[in-house]
């Protein structure tokens, strides 16, 4: 019998095939990208499903995949050190073992062939780590397509030395000697501006033009999220849910449909269901909210709580503003968007009154707080959350008090 932890796995790096939810265009865009012959780049916020996406697609296409972790590179202060690591881990023999027949099969031009014969005299330990690794990949992959993934780009994003090292790696790929190995590079990470970065700061436009950026991986659609919940609770765990629509739409709402967060939340709820003989009741959602807030969003909770704890007369308005912020759907929003929601949600206490949202929002933002929940956009005319977790936290944490226009927090101290 399956247990919650076999089904809901927020931090699993290996794909659980029975839980994988297809993401439509994202998979086909990646497939097309792999056929384009260009190097590729996938971006999206943490937990959006990038790693599962490429692993699933590459597996389906039977493409061999090799993964270098840029977080390790960051720790080691060198990307080549990470390649060295990988080579050591796979305990490569000293000699590459390239054979004449393999060379022939690759169908490479004569010039490259000459290069290779030259190459072949190298011991792998004498090659640059990057080339040694490419050579290893090609050897293991034989004639098959092979992809080298550089995952967690965000880990080196603030380190200009590592970013130049990455630029060198990409530039080298075009060098005949490296291109010979025919390994596609797939860069995976959070920032979406790699091309711009190289175009602007390093005058490496040609490098940037060798990378094809795939569309952002972000939240799931409502249908995908519902399917994930259904697959986990009903098909796999075989639980009963008293009000499926209510439970499903609540999860979809508080988690903002981010795959990792959906799994986290569902795990909490599944444990409650397990304690309840495999029955999920919508009345358990409050408890699941508390458990999830405590375990996964505790630091965000503390920040929001501190912003509510003010004793001035505007406390009611400020709490209403926080609640309204949770309802914002846009990534970037203006104070007028928040005001519209606030007036809609709290009509009795706002009618005919000026609300001064610009001031309240600025009080919650970077200019006034060390740990702001919102920050101004670069242009300065709108805001976004300083961390997407705040939106989820506000949604799970704040409640309207019935019959009044005030807002209360869901306590988690007893959890
Ligand atoms: N397509 C999917 N279907 C079901 N669950 C998914 C899917 N993609 C991701 N997940 C869940 O989200 C978690 C985080 O995904 P991951 O690919 O590691 O995100 P990222 O690499 O963007 O940080 C995974 O461990 C898994 O639990
Ligand atoms: Mg990942």
Return per-residue pLDDT of the chain as tens, 415 residues. 899 999 999 999 999 999 999 999 999 999 999 999 899 999 999 999 999 999 999 999 999 999 999 999 999 999 999 999 999 988 655 544 444 334 444 444 444 444 544 444 445 557 889 999 999 999 999 999 999 999 999 999 889 899 889 888 888 887 888 989 999 999 999 766 676 676 665 556 666 777 899 999 999 999 999 999 999 999 999 999 999 999 999 999 999 999 999 999 999 999 999 999 999 999 999 999 999 999 999 999 999 999 996 655 555 899 999 999 999 999 999 999 999 999 999 999 999 999 999 999 998 997 667 889 999 988 888 999 999 999 999 999 999 998 888 999 999 998 8
Write down the pLDDT at residue 314.
52
Beta strands in 163-299 (DSSP E): 183-189, 211-213, 240-241, 279-280
Query: What distance separates the 2 farthest-apart alpha carbons in the chain?
Result: 85
Q: Are 225 and 251 in contact (CB under 8 A)?
A: yes
Strand 39-43 and strand 211-213: pairing? parallel
Which residues, 6 or more positions from 299, have their beta carbon under 8 angstroms from its beta carbon?
Answer: none
Look at ligand 1, atom 1, and give the residue with the nearest C-alpha. Answer: 21
- What pLDDT does 172 receive? 86
Would you state the structure tokens that stand for residue 136, as one six-digit string?
A: 């290893």
DSSP type of residue 10: T
Residue 105: predicted pLDDT: 41
Q: Decide: helix, strand or coil at residue 399.
A: strand
pLDDT at 121: 42
E-assigned strand segments in 289-352: none
C-alpha dihedral (179, 215, 226, 392), degrees to nearest 10: 110
Ligand nearest to the CA of 48: 1
**Cα separations in angstroms, 404 against 118, 249, 356, 408:** 81, 25, 21, 11
**d(CA 44, ligand 2 centre) in Å:** 9
What is the spatial distance between Cα 238 and Cα 273, in angstroms, rounded to a whole number?
11
Residue where the block lists tokens 């629509």: 245
- Ligand 2 centroid distance, CA of 288 (Å): 26
- Tokens for 300? 């965000």
Which residues are within 8 A (CB) of 251 and not within 5 positions of it... i.e. 6 or more apart? Answer: 225, 229, 262, 265, 266, 269
Residues 220 and 252: their CA atoms lie apart, in Å, by 9
Q: Which atom of ligand 1 is nearest to the CA of 224?
A: 3
- Residue of 19, 47, 186, 230 with the most ligand 1 atoms within 8 Å of its CB, for mutation: 47
Cα 188 to ligand 1 centre (Å):
13
| pLDDT score for 199 | 64
- For residue 237, the 8-state DSSP code is S
pLDDT for the residue numbered 119: 47
Q: Three-class SS of residue 274?
A: helix
Q: What global pTM score does this model have?
A: 0.89
């Amino acid at each position: 019998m399956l247990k919650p932890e076999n089904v809901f796995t927020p931090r699993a790096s290996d794909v659980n095939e029975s839980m994988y939810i297809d993401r439509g265009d994202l998979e086909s865009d990646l497939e097309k990208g792999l056929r384009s012959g260009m190097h590729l780049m996938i971006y999206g916020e943490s937990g959006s499903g990038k790693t599962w996406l490429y692993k699933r697609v590459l597996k389906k296409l039977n493409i061999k995949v090799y993964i270098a972790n840029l977080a390790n590179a960051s720790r080691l202060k060198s990307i080549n050190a990470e390649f060295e690591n990988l080579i050591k881990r796979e305990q490569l023999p000293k000699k590459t073992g390239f054979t004449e027949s393999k060379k022939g099969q690759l169908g490479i031009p004569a010039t490259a062939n000459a290069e290779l014969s030259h190459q072949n005299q190298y011991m792998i330990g004498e090659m640059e780590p990057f080339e040694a690794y490419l050579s290893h990949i090609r050897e293991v992959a034989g004639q098959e397509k092979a992809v080298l993934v550089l995952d967690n780009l965000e880990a080196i994003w603030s380190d200009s030395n590592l970013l130049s090292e990455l630029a060198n790696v990409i530039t080298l790929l075009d060098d005949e000697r490296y291109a010979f190995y025919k390994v596609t590079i797939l860069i995976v990470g959070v920032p979406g501006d790699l091309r711009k970065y190289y175009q602007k700061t390093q005058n490496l436009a040609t490098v940037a033009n060798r990378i094809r950026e795939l569309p952002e991986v972000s939240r799931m659609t409502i249908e995908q999220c519902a399917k994930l919940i259904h697959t986990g609770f009903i098909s796999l765990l075989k639980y009963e849910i008293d009000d499926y629509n209510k439970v499903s739409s609540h999860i979809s709402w508080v988690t903002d449909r981010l795959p990792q967060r959906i799994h986290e939340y569902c795990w909490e709820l599944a444990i409650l269901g397990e304690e309840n003989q495999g029955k999920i009741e919508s009345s358990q959602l409050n408890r699941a909210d508390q458990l999830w807030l405590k375990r996964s969003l505790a630091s965000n909770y503390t920040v929001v709580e501190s912003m509510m704890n003010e004793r001035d007369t505007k406390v009611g308005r400020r709490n209403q503003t926080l609640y309204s912020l949770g309802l914002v759907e846009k990534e970037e929003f203006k104070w007028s968007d928040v005001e519209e929601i606030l007036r809609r949600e709290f009509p009795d206490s706002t009618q005919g009154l000026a609300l001064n949202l610009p001031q309240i929002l600025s009080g919650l933002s970077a200019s006034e707080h060390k740990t702001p929940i919102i920050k101004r956009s670069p242009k300065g005319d709108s805001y976004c959350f300083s961390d997407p977790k705040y939106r989820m936290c506000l949604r799970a944490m704040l409640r309207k008090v019935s019959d009044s226009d005030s807002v209360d927090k869901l306590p988690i101290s007893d959890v």
